[in-house]
Amino acid sequence: MKTCARVLVVLALASMLCWLALLAPMRSRAGAGPATGDPARGAMLFRQCAACHSLEPGLQLTGPSLAAIWGRRAATVYGFGRYSAALKHAGVTWDAATLDRWLARPAAVVPETTMTFPGVADARQRADLIAYLKALAEGKAPPAQAGGMMIGAGPTTDLKRVGKDRRVTAIRHCGDAYHVTTEAGRTTPFWEFNLRFKTDSSPRGPEAGTPVLAPQGMQGDRAQVVFGSLDELKRFLVERCEPDGR
């Protein structure tokens, strides 16, 4: 009986050691931070982000510049004023762990965030993006791939450098159409629903008093006019029809 009992004890200990050996790697993975990423792959992936975020210090788009966010407290990029109150008070500092959670699902980190991005499900892609942002902050980043921008004038286009065919001199409204005249002497009619008006007060915005016409869409029937300020928009738009009713 004693021998049998000793055998049972030995078997129980062996079984316990076996389970501990199996669980150790799982505990290690659970406590580990994000996987090590590749900055070069991250540069290619960043094109998904480039429509909303620039990598140029001081250049704010839909979202803030990501030029130097590594190690920075969230909602503190200088010059960006559209942070949600929830992010401002979240107490988050951007490092590998917080960026991994944020990229996976922003709303899970800050439930009331105004960032509508659904997240990156692939852990390796998140790691690559994080590695790229860290390399960027350290001045070691490979160049990012260009993202998809609007036809005619993306958010990073320098509107002070456009030609006469894009520099607007007059805009009049008649009936259901806007008639836009440029320095090149051409007047183009747009259905009022197909013409958008925007302002760009950034250093890349239009010269004072010179709005810019930016075509949109594949058919050429849509466009936007970008003004340097709201006052200019008010001054330029006039209600007037020509003698022929146009």
What mean pLDDT comes out for the span 1-22?
48
Place 218 in a pLDDT band, splitting at 50, 70 and 90: low
C-alpha to C-alpha distance for 232 and 236, rounded to whole angstroms: 6
Place 141 in a pLDDT band, splitting at 50, 70 and 90: confident
- Give the per-residue pLDDT at 3: 55
Q: One-letter amino acid identity for 157?
A: T
Q: Which residue has the higher pLDDT, 179 or 8?
A: 179
What mean pLDDT comes out for the span 88-115?
95
DSSP 191: E
Task: Encode 16-58 in three state secondary structure.
Answer: HHHHHHHHHHHHHHHHCCCCCCCHHHHHHHHHHCCCCCCCCCC
Place 154 in a pLDDT band, splitting at 50, 70 and 90: low
Position 22 pLDDT exceeds 90: no
Task: Name the pTM for this structure.
Answer: 0.65
Query: With pLDDT > 90 as the criterion, what percentage of the chain qualifies?
Result: 63
- Give the per-residue pLDDT at 184: 96
Task: Encode 78-104 in three state secondary structure.
Answer: CCCCCCCHHHHCCCCECCHHHHHHHHH
Query: With pLDDT > 70 as the criterion, what percentage of the chain qualifies?
Result: 79
CA atoms within 13 A on the CB side of 33: 11
- Give the per-residue pLDDT at 239: 95
- Give the per-residue pLDDT at 215: 83
Q: Which residue has the higher pLDDT, 72 or 36?
A: 72
What mean pLDDT comes out for the span 205-216?
92
Contact in structure between 173 and 240 (CB atoms under 8 Å): yes
Mean pLDDT computed over every residue of the chain: 84
- Give the per-residue pLDDT at 178: 94
- Give the per-residue pLDDT at 147: 47
Determine which helix (DSSP H) or strand (DSSP E) holds 174, and give its type and residue range. Answer: strand 168-174
Q: Is 173 helix (H, G, I), strand (E, B) or coil?
A: strand
Position 242 pLDDT exceeds 90: no
Domains contained in the chain, CATH given: 39-137 (1.10.760.10), 159-239 (no CATH)
What mean pLDDT comes out for the span 66-85?
93
Place 1 in a pLDDT band, splitting at 50, 70 and 90: low
